Structure 1
Amino acid sequence: MPSSSPISDREAAKARIRAKLTARHNQTAREYLSCLLHATNTHSEAEAILDTFERQSDTAARLNRVLDICDKGVRAGEELVDIDRIHAAALGDDVRQSGGGR
């Protein structure tokens, strides 16, 4: 009779799956994307894709902050928009100054 029963094999498989899920939940978004990209690309290709994605995401976030500033000004009925605030948001300086940068 074999030393391992089907029940213990099943429990061991469940434990491995739980460990993989826990490891996945502990990964950052960049680590997770990196694992996925490395499965189908070379290391340099995967890193280039991640860098492009991060730049585009940062640009989109900055544009959204600029649009929010403009929308709030329009809703408040302001005739003059705070150009310095818009400029800082467009460059990402507003996040860096508040300590929210990466």
Structure 2
Amino acid sequence: MLERRNLPDLKLLQTFECAARHRNFTRAGEELALTQSAVSRQIRELEAQLGKPLFERVRGRVVPTPAGEVLRRRAAPGSARPPSPPPARPAWPWPAAARRHGHRWRRAGPRASP
């Protein structure tokens, strides 16, 4: 497991994810507005940081290695769960706070005639 201070740059992970999805550095570059050589250079930098090859280069396309496949699954959009929203709370913690602030609180039901 990587420690927080050793995590790769988010830009490199984004480039990796795009290249893994397209299985082609040129198409990844087109999507990211980078040249093919810039994508290749960023992938090499990421591989150097992680110390593992992430792609096998095969006749004009790239195939993720087992380590690359693991990283691809973890780097895919939506793979991280968003934090759950806080529980809904009422506007007033009725009835005690309402009384402290001068509000009159009545239970729901038919209105009493004035």
Question: Would you call these one fold, judging by a TM-score over 0.5?
Answer: no
Q: TM-score range by the shorter chain?
A: under 0.3
The structure having more radius of gyration, on CA atoms, is: 2
TM-score by length of 2: 0.24
Structure with larger RCO (C-alpha < 8 A, sep 6+): 2
More helix by share: 1
TM-score by length of 1: 0.26
More strand by share: 2
